[in-house]
Amino acid sequence: MKFLFAACLAVLVHPSTFAGEASPAVDVGDWSKANERVHEVGGWKAYAREIESSQAAPVQTQAQGSRTALSLDEAIERAMALEPSLRSTLANVSRHPKDYPLLSDHQRSALTQESRLVADIRALYFAAVVAKERVNYQAQVVETAAIVSELATRMRKVGNLNLLHQTEEQLSLAKTQRHLSQARLHAATSLEALARRLQHGGDPNSLHLPSRLPELPKQLAEMSSVDQNLLKSPSSHPSVLQTQSEVRLALVARDEAYASARHYRDEILPLQRRLSEEHLLHYNGMIKGVFDLLKDARHQIQAVEGYLQALHSYWHSEAALEPKLAALREQLSQLRRDAWK
C-alpha cells in the first residue's frame, strides 16, 4: 500500500487554493480523474512503503543491489562457527524436548548455551535491521518535510501564508532532521553490536543487512506438548517456580506483540491508507487545503512508525522465549525428571 507524504508543489501556480477562500463546487465523479491528472503532471511527489505481507520478500532472499543480504540463519551459522567445541558437541544431539532427559549433562549444557547464542544473535540481528529500516523511512520523512518547508516559504512570499504556519513547517523540518540524525546513530550502534558479536572484521556495512524486518508469520508457533507439560508441572522449588513464571510472561509478551503488529497491519494501516486517499480526493476537489494533507501525512508517519515498533517487538519477544524454555528444561531435568512422563 502506498503512503503519500509530500505536499503539492505545482499548486503554487494557484495560491488561492491555500488561502482559505471558498472553493467552487466539484462533481464527486471527477475527483479520481483530478487525482490521476495531478500525478501525471508531477504536482505530487510521492513516496511508497510496501506493507503487504504477500508481496514481502523473505529476509533470507533479500538483496542490496546485486549483493545478497545476510540472512538470520547465516548470522547464526557465523556465530556457531566461533564456537567449534559447542558445534562439535551438538553435532548429533537430538533437539526434541522429549529426548532432553536422555542427554548427558554436557550435552544439555550445550543445548542451553546454544539457545542463548541463537537468542542473542536474533535480538542483535533484528535490532540492526529495524534500525536500518527506520533510517530509510526517516530519510523519506525529511525529504518530505523539506519540500513542505519550501512550499511554505514560497506561499509566505506571495502573501498566502502567515508567519506562524511558515515557522511551524520550518520547525517541523528541523525536528525531522534531528530525528534522522538520531536514527543514523542508532543504526550505526546496532550494526556495530552485531558485527562485534559475529567478530566481523572491516567495515560493518559489508554485512549487507536486509532493508526491512521479515513480515509476521501466518500464525504463532505452538509449544511442544512436552514443554506445555513442563510449564504446568507442579513444583515447590523457588527456582522452578520463578522460571515457569518467566516463561509464561514471555509467552504473553510474544502473543501480545504478535496481536499488536497484526492489528497495525490488518486494521490501522489499511484504514490510514483509505483515509489518506479520501483526503487526497477532497484536496483535488478543492474541498480541503494543503494543511489538511500535511496533518494527514503526520498521521501516516505515526502509523508506519507504530507498525515498525510493533513488528520489532514481536520478533524480539520471539527471540527471548526459547532461552527461558531451555532453562526450564534444564531445571526440571535435575529436580523433576518425572515431569517428562
Rounded to whole angstroms, how far apart are CA atoms 270 and 36? 21
Report the share of the chain in percent with pLDDT over 90: 40
The pLDDT of residue 68 is 82
| Residue 140: closest CA among 288, 2, 282 | 2
Tell me the pLDDT tens digit for each residue of 249-278. Answer: 999 999 999 999 999 999 998 888 888 888
pLDDT over 70 (residue 37): no
Angle at 128 between CA 258 and CA 125, to 5 degrees: 70
**Side chain identity, residue 176:** T
Tell me the pLDDT tens digit for each residue of 10-22. Answer: 322 222 222 333 3
pLDDT over 60 (residue 56): no
* pTM of the full structure: 0.76
* Mean of all residue pLDDT scores within the chain: 78
Rounded to whole angstroms, how far apart are CA atoms 280 and 274? 10
Cα→Cα distances 334→98, 100, 238, Å: 15, 11, 14
CB atoms closer than 10 angstroms to residue 186: 17
Averaged over 233-242, what is the pLDDT? 82
Averaged over 157-180, what is the pLDDT? 89
The pLDDT of residue 309 is 92
Return the axis-axis angle of helices 105-157 and 163-197, rounded to nearest 10°: 160
DSSP assignment string, 272-327: HHHHHHHHHHHHHTTSS-HHHHHHHHHHHHHHHHHHHHHHHHHHHHHHHHHHHHHH
The pLDDT of residue 18 is 26
Q: How confident is the model at residue 35 (pLDDT cuts 50, 70, 90)?
A: very low
